[in-house]
Amino acid sequence: MTSLIILLIESILVLWMGIIFAIGALFGASIIYFISMHRAGTAGYAAKTVVIGLLTVPVAILLTLASASYVVTMAARKSLRVVGAVSRRIFGFKPTEDTCDDDPADTAEVTVHLVHGTFERRAPWTLPGSEMRKAIEGIKHKVKIARFSWSGKNSPAARSRAAQALAQKLKASPSRRHYIVAHSHGGNIVREMSHLYPEIASKIHGVCLLSTPFIFRREINRTAGNFIYLNSIGFIFATLIPVTAATLLFRFNAYLPDALIIASIIAFIVELVLSKYCRRSYAQELKVANEMMDLRDVQIYHAIGDEADSGLRFVSFLHEACFGVLSQLKAAAKLAKSKFHWPYVAAYVFFICTIGYVAFFPSVSKIWMAVNLIGLGVTIAVHVMQRFHSSTDDPPVLVAAALPIVTFSFWLAAAKAIAFGDWRLIFCPEILVSSSETPAGPHQVLKFAPQTDGTMVHSTHSHPEAVLNVASWLDSRLDAEEAGDARNKKPHAISQNIA
């Protein structure tokens, strides 16, 4: 029984290696074909691929290091929590209380809520004594300042939970009028809350959003067609990096080929499962359009050169550039559908030579004979399928040519997923995600330039001019509302018609 299982595993590994060899042979043959037959187009494709690759390699390195650091950090935190729990149980220590609670909204008239952004549960600008608080406290109207604290995690789920918590806080508050000053993703929390709870959002008389990157998510029709689903190749390559590192680290060098093949099979299956889950999850969320800002008197302050928003846009642009290159490959497939047989011929020559080499040198393992025979068989099968299938199918040689771009696309999708806080973006290339200075609709933006080169331009909440503008806006809004209330309280003359 054991020998049968070993034989089955070895057969699967040999089959997988043959498929990989076939893909590699077609890739090399397609490159030779395009260089010889379409020099200008190949040069353009190569140049774009190199540029995107040069920009992507640092991203891939940073993501790999960040992932390793994250794993180590989470393991350390888990260990500390376990040690802390054991210590409290043994010595009877009480857990320290979280001092990051909200300020209560205990006035029956006007409350100004301060909503912090991502990773800033104790944002200094929301705490007592900050310049923002002093400016609001200095206006001529009496208001209560209430700090709203949420987890600060960079994920749609965390922001949704915060939107629900903010709605509950507004509902429980006895205040008659509410104003909100929100920074960064705090603005997206307010926007989501306005759509989830419109009856509660009606209590808000004005919002001021500071450096909010308004996120747009939408499923679009990719002109690259089925090329976009080659994302799984990039996921497989990414999986092989830690497998290779671990194998070499523990000095299992002799098992490296087997480890890589097994890891690639597992990664391929995992990618299929995760892609299906992510698309189903997004299909539910994208049914609800929440790109508008369903609130009154929306003030939007934005910093010129905002580094956070610029980073989001850059990653999105570079990722979309990959789809642009894939679209050009799709167009090439339509223009020269019947001319893609020479790469197959070149692949046949390659496999015949390698088979002859293995046969001529008895010292070479016969496993490589099986691998090359499978690779040759796969190439023939793909060629035959290409001959008889619909003309709308993508030529496999172009699929092989797309390998570098789809690999880069995966790393950029991973970077975009981290930037937007949604890991599902890695497995949903048909979802367009980007950020904007304003939500959908007619909104004006008041821009602020940094005062010094050492100023973090994303921190609009601490920009002196922006702080004064927030206080001035609140003062003017309350002036207008008091004037309106006074007009409504005046007695109205009743006109009578005299016959």
The SS3 call for residue 441 is: coil
Q: Tell me which of 10-14, 86-90, 204-208, 264-268 is least confident.
A: 86-90
Which residue has better confidence, 487 or 430? 430
Q: What are phi and psi of 204, to 5 degrees?
A: -85, 125
Q: What are phi and psi of 357, to 5 degrees?
A: -65, -45
Q: What is the pLDDT of residue 189?
A: 93
Mind listing the pLDDT tens digit for each residue in 28-68?
A: 887 777 777 767 777 787 788 888 888 888 877 787 777 77
Which residue has better confidence, 87 or 274? 274
Mind listing the pLDDT tens digit for each residue in 140-173?
A: 988 999 999 999 998 888 999 999 999 999 998 8
Mind listing the pLDDT tens digit for each residue in 220-244?
A: 888 888 788 887 788 888 788 778 8
Q: What are phi and psi of 37, to 5 degrees?
A: -105, -30
**CB within 8 A of 44, min separation 6: which ones?**
none
From start to end of 119-176, where are the E strands? 144-148
- Whole-prediction pTM value? 0.74
Cα separation, 421 vs 16, in Å, equals 34
Domain with CATH 3.40.50.1820 in the chain: 110-216+290-309+442-482
**Which token pair is 107?**
């006035």
Q: What is the pLDDT of residue 394?
A: 57
The SS3 call for residue 172 is: helix
Q: What is the pLDDT of residue 498?
A: 33
Q: Give which of 244, 187, 239 is closest to 210, Cα–Cα.
A: 187
Q: What is the pLDDT of residue 201?
A: 87
Give CA 480 to chain center in angstroms: 42
Q: What is the pLDDT of residue 103?
A: 61
pLDDT at 490 over 60: no
Q: What is the pLDDT of residue 178?
A: 94
The CATH code of domain 110-216+290-309+442-482 reads 3.40.50.1820
Max CA-CA distance within the chain?
123
Q: What is the pLDDT of residue 493?
A: 39
Read off the pLDDT band of 497 (50, 70, 90).
Answer: very low
**CB within 8 A of 19, min separation 6: which ones?**
374, 375, 378
Give CA 170 to chain center in angstroms: 30
Cα separation, 28 vs 404, in Å, equals 12
Q: What is the pLDDT of residue 454?
A: 67
Mind listing the pLDDT tens digit for each residue in 364-419?
A: 777 888 888 999 998 888 888 777 765 555 566 677 678 888 888 888 888 888 88
Q: DSSP character for 334?
A: H
Read off the pLDDT band of 308 (50, 70, 90).
Answer: confident
Which residue has better confidence, 420 or 102? 420
Q: DSSP character for 295?
A: S
Q: What is the pLDDT of residue 411?
A: 87
Mind listing the pLDDT tens digit for each residue in 415-443?
A: 888 888 888 888 888 888 888 888 877 88
Which residue has better confidence, 323 or 108? 323
